[in-house]
Structure 1
């Protein structure tokens, strides 16, 4: 894939390009390394140049963010933008069935990645801070790209595209507030809304819950960020790549820790919740992914169970403190829909948000849960009816997963 041609086509001919993307064979690694990681560098690098090298000023007074503070901000904002796109994909995936669509994590990631093209390219305006507001326009066009892509890739009903897009945008705004708060930690005092000594809490209410950024936690995290920035400066002076990597990891981990819960649960902890047998079916394989080594607030464990054509796939994911935001967004779409072939329902029960979707002929069924602590569970099956899937789900120790506490920072 030519990144320049793809960016040009999604901007100039979005609908035909979404049709191509819909059938395109790819994977998460290719989407990140071949596209997103390159585009996400534009706002991060241009922001660093604009704020720390060019600077901003008016009426004869100029100001620059200190070099190493700006460098730390660039690294963390870059990493969090990559994490943020994945979180948005999780939300798109969870919401899809509510709007007549089909849940598919890879398709959702395609939507999140390519819809962000306009916003990412708009990061070039950060080179001149006085023009940074123009990036709002490119962000608005990304909303249109999202609106155009959801019904094509997620198979959602076109008449529900406005509602689907609106809920995803609400989640994106919450995510943007959190990332903006983290980025502001690298600003010197007196710059930005988080610079004053008394830092308030920021709460965003949604129909599915409330997401709060802890003002007191921001001050504590700022001290950790400053320590990481000093470590980065020292490592740079010593030309020590290993120390630079460690300081960057510490800065990212500190940023993640203020997102309502800090680090993610260990992936091995999640794997322990996947038994050798489930519903009389033997485990045929598993996969574990853990971002804690990089300071990222994500962990995931999944397993496949099967016998003949009857198969079950279980996935447990923790997004650290961002899990609360994902759960809140998931809870915004409650309701039910049914026809002669298919039924689905999203509801809240005991503080959890649940979603079921199944074919009435027993050919497939799916059950998703957002637990009170933000852990997300997805169970899907082929050649199994919803009653059997519920029985399978009941054999997972959901209560134990919900009691898990994230590690302290």
Structure 2
């Protein structure tokens, strides 16, 4: 079932990771989960940028044109999907170093469910105050990192000590991925692919 583990990951994460590991769902379930979860923050970002306007301090709200907001929403959706699949590949690629032998499905499951809080934090854009969105995003990142540290030993079937090192490596690689995505965005924006603002 789509989204069947979200509540458990928030309410009782360790028990939910064990359930995820025991059920061993298909790759289609993990892909469907991430396809659905990634839609919500993109809708919120489109609404905030094209209709509500971003508020930065005491200055006047900033609006994008609807077409520009739509393009950015779609780009955000693609970025979330690519980021999740890249993280899954990194989890899979680094596994042998730490004595784990997961399938790519297990790696994608771990990545998709661990990334859910940080992805869902984008829903905060429905209240487009920069400070509020930043705080919710930081909370989402913190909880996603916690889920990753809690989930790796369970899903990868390795001791907690090795799981800690493995998770630390994945978090570092994830931060590098985030920096690459931000740099690519900045390069595209400065080369004519930036958003159009309402005057």
Structure 2 equivalent of residue 31 of structure 1: 30
Structure 2 equivalent of residue 44 of structure 1: 42
Structure 2 equivalent of residue 157 of structure 1: 159
The within-5 A match list for 1:140-155 is: 140-155=142-157
Check if 1:103 corresponds to 2:97. Answer: no
Higher helix share: 2
* Residues in 1 aligned to 2:96 and 2:6: alpha-carbon distance in whole angstroms: 28
SS of the residue corresponding to residue 117 of structure 2 reads helix
* Residues in 1 aligned to 2:37 and 2:73: alpha-carbon distance in whole angstroms: 14
* Residues in 2 aligned to 1:171 and 1:179: alpha-carbon distance in whole angstroms: 12
Structure 2 equivalent of residue 72 of structure 1: 71
Greater relative CO, 1 or 2 (CA 8 Å, sep 6+): 2
Deviations 1:125-175 (A, max 9, x none): 122232111211011101110111111111222112222111111111122
The within-5 A match list for 1:82-101 is: 82-101=81-100
Structure 1 equivalent of residue 119 of structure 2: 120
Compute the displacement of 1:27 (Å).
2.3
The within-5 A match list for 1:155-194 is: 155-182=157-184, 184=185, 194=186
- Alpha carbons 2:41, 2:122 under 8 Å: kept: yes
- Alpha carbons 1:99, 1:157 under 8 Å: kept: no
SS of the residue corresponding to residue 61 of structure 1 reads coil
SS of the residue corresponding to residue 142 of structure 1 reads helix
* Residues in 2 aligned to 1:70 and 1:105: alpha-carbon distance in whole angstroms: 34
SS of the residue corresponding to residue 59 of structure 1 reads coil
Compute the displacement of 1:219 (Å).
6.1
Query: Please, which runs of 5 or more residues in structure 1 have no aligned partner?
Result: 185-193, 195-214, 231-409
- Alpha carbons 2:153, 2:160 under 8 Å: kept: yes
Query: Please, which runs of 5 or more residues in structure 2 have no aligned partner?
Result: none
- Alpha carbons 1:101, 1:151 under 8 Å: kept: no
Structure 1 equivalent of residue 133 of structure 2: 132
For these two proteins, the number of residue pairs brought into alignment is 192
- Give the 3 Å change call, closer, same or farther, for CA 69–219 of structure 1 in structure 2: closer
The within-5 A match list for 1:278-317 is: none
- Give the 3 Å change call, closer, same or farther, for CA 69–178 of structure 1 in structure 2: farther
* Residues in 1 aligned to 2:25 and 2:44: alpha-carbon distance in whole angstroms: 29
* Residues in 2 aligned to 1:28 and 1:71: alpha-carbon distance in whole angstroms: 29
- Alpha carbons 1:102, 1:156 under 8 Å: kept: no
- Give the 3 Å change call, closer, same or farther, for CA 95–53 of structure 1 in structure 2: same
- Alpha carbons 1:96, 1:156 under 8 Å: kept: no
SS of the residue corresponding to residue 88 of structure 1 reads helix
* Residues in 2 aligned to 1:170 and 1:43: alpha-carbon distance in whole angstroms: 24
* Residues in 2 aligned to 1:56 and 1:123: alpha-carbon distance in whole angstroms: 14
* Residues in 1 aligned to 2:151 and 2:16: alpha-carbon distance in whole angstroms: 9
- Alpha carbons 2:149, 2:167 under 8 Å: kept: yes
